[in-house]
Amino acid sequence: MSTIPAELRFAESHEWAKQEGDLIVVGISDHAQEALGDVVFVELPEIGKVFAAGDAAGVVESVKAASDIYSPVAGEVVEVNESLGDGPEALNETPYSSWIFKVKPSNADADLAKLLDAAAYKAAIGE
């Protein structure tokens, strides 16, 4: 059982979102990385791409499976974590500090309000 950071919001598809200034930082939860197993590759979204909340934005591949990463909020990708290209295992080792991409949100407050808080996410994954 892991500690779920209280400041994060979660999509039911296991991405986390954190507001950082006027950007939303996105990663995958500890629960997701555990279910995936050893992450071997991350397909990052393109900078400048615009997603609606819930759109597939990239892929995380593990030794077990490939899984889509969904954007938990609507907006434009403004930065991607290039270091995951050489070190995708960071998602396994430090899932809550290893972000995947950052979005300039089109409606941060409304989108974040639709996501689960830490307690609701914990209940959703049965912890």
Question: What is the per-residue pLDDT across 75-123, written as a single tens digit (0 to 9) for each?
Answer: 999 999 999 999 999 999 999 999 999 999 999 999 999 999 999 999 9
What is the average pLDDT score of the chain? 96
The CATH number given to whatever domain includes residue 82 is 2.40.50.100
Domain ranges, residue 82: 9-112
pLDDT at 127 over 90: no
47 inside domain: yes
Residue 115 main-chain phi, psi, to 5 deg: -85, 160
Mean per-residue pLDDT for 15-31?
Answer: 97
Do residues 45 and 27 touch, judged by C-beta distance below 8 A?
no
47 alpha-carbon distance from chain centroid? 16
pLDDT at 2: 63
20 inside domain: yes
127 inside domain: no
3 inside domain: no
What's the pTM value of the predicted model, to 2 decimals? Answer: 0.96
107 inside domain: yes
34 inside domain: yes
Do residues 76 and 49 touch, judged by C-beta distance below 8 A?
yes
Number of compact structural domains in the chain:
1
